[in-house]
Amino acid sequence: MKALKLGIGLLLALTLAACGKPPPYQQQAFVFGTLVEVSIAGAPEDQAKAASQAVLAKFDELHRLLHAWQPSAVSRLNTAFAEGQRSPQPPELIAMLRDAEAIAVRSGHLFNPAIGGLIALWGFHDDAPQGRVPDAAEIAKRVNQNPRMTDIHIEHDTVWSSNPAVQVDLGGYAKGLALDEAARILKAKGIRNALVNIGGNIIALGQNGDRPWRVGIQHPRKPGTLATLDLHDGEAVGTSGDYQRYFEAAGRRYHHLIDPRSGYPATGMQSVTVLVSGARAGTRSDALSKPLFIAGAEQLEESARRNGVEHYLAVDAAGNTRVSPALAPRLR
């Protein structure tokens, strides 16, 4: 059995500052179970430091709100669901539940944050997964319970579920939401040029000196990158990969991206990276990489159309790279 490995879906590849110009100001932290980095260009150090600290403070707040297996608003909500109880929830969480439901419905429920019980069964609700394949009958039982975000009901500030099997896990959504919050805070602090990287989910503001921010898309099986990509202002990239959080048993890899239709880790892809722009680019880039990954190679194009994703790079289970026509000209 192989120990858990934590990977980063996108390796930040900051280009060197032009001669005579200072490098970007950077702060790092460990939040959402991964490395977080805020890079700010063209701002005085005291302004950049204050803005970075405000961003990291917001990340800590979201981590405490959304943690799926430590005490949090989400874990308390899941307890209420299991007990058939109604519970008041903060407006911020209610807005997230509504948004996550809309994304889930559009994806045909391949993006399904209601399957937290299945994720826990596989041992991915621990800092170090248990490394054991669950009993097939227990997996089938949870799949047959068919928990979905549409089972969640909201009336004013009160939330309940018509399906006690619903256990919310917003891990495939939270990092993207945090990127959008970071962009909002940085702009409010007068920062025009920044790059925020949450474990490979990245959003760009402005540019790095006289050139765009550049990131590298990590190869899912080898050290180094598949390609590099220049990000424009407001663009975000998100990656789902089978190398980010997994264990191996009997020579087979079991990762945390569970297919809600089967109850087992999806098998058709090694990684999927999507590039998104416009409103809520961070949230969408994080969430929308999941249904494309779970759909697999044969349904990749159909899933991309259904979810409104024009720019993607995918590596299928056989190691073949697939790039959408819209993204291909922008890759190096």
Q: Is the pLDDT of residue 319 over 60?
A: yes
In the chain, count of helices (H) and strands (E)? 8, 17
Grade residue 313 by pLDDT with cuts at 50, 70 and 90: very high
E strand segments, 165-293: 194-198, 201-205, 213-218, 225-231, 236-241, 245-249, 252-255, 269-276
| 33: confidence class by pLDDT, cuts 50, 70, 90 | confident
Of the listed ranges 56-60, 128-132, 177-181, 184-188, the one predicted with least confidence: 128-132
Mean pLDDT, range 322-332, rounded to an integer: 97
Query: Is it the case that residue 300 has pLDDT exceeding 60?
Result: yes
Across the range 115-143, mean pLDDT stands at 93
8 A C-beta contact, residue 236 and residue 285:
yes
**200 or 4: which leads in pLDDT:** 200
pTM: 0.93
pLDDT score for 18:
39
**Residue 121 phi, psi (nearest 5):** -60, -35
Mean pLDDT, residues 297-322: 98
Band (pLDDT 50/70/90 cuts) for residue 129 is confident
Alpha carbons 267 and 238: distance in angstroms, whole number:
19
Domains in the chain, please, with CATH?
Answer: 2-65+173-330 (3.10.520.10), 70-161 (1.10.3980.10)
Q: How confident is the model at residue 130 (pLDDT cuts 50, 70, 90)?
A: confident
Q: What mean pLDDT is predicted for residues 61-79?
A: 95
Over range 25-36, report the average pLDDT: 93
pLDDT at 244: 84
Residues 94-122, mean pLDDT to the nearest whole number: 98
Distance CA(195)–CA(193), nearest Å, equals 7
Residue 5's pLDDT is 34
| Residue whose token pair is 């996550």 | 100
H or E element at residue 6: strand 2-6
Q: How far apart are CA 7 and CA 200, in angstroms?
A: 9
* pLDDT of residue 281 exceeding 90: yes
Q: Which of 27-36, 83-92, 175-184, 306-315 has the lowest mean pLDDT?
A: 27-36
Question: Given this model, what pLDDT does residue 2 score?
Answer: 33
DSSP letter (8 states) at residue 169? -
Q: Report whether pLDDT(77) > 90.
A: yes
**DSSP letters for 68-81:** SSSSSHHHHHHHHH
Of all residues in the chain, the percent with pLDDT exceeding 90 is 88
What CA–CA distance (Å, rounded) separates 27 from 43?
A: 14
What is the reported pLDDT for 131? 84
Question: What per-residue confidence (pLDDT) applies to 246?
Answer: 93
pLDDT for the residue 21: 67
Share of the chain above pLDDT 70, in %: 94
Mean pLDDT across the stretch 232-256? 95
**Cβ contact 264:142 at 8 Å:** no
Supply the DSSP symbol for 290.
H
- Band of pLDDT at residue 8, cut at 50, 70 and 90: very low
Average the pLDDT over 97-112 and give the result. 98
What would the DSSP string read from start to end of 22-48? PPPEEEEEEETTEEEEEEE-SS-HHHH
Burial state string for 296-331 with b = 16 or more CB within 10 A and e = fewer than 16: beebbbebbebbebebbbbbbeeeeeebbeebeeeb
* Nearest-angstrom CA–CA distance, 246 and 253: 7
Residue 17 has pLDDT above 90, yes or no: no
Give the model's confidence band at 11: pLDDT under 50 very low, under 70 low, under 90 confident, else very high: very low
At 13 the pLDDT is: 45
| DSSP for residue 208 | B
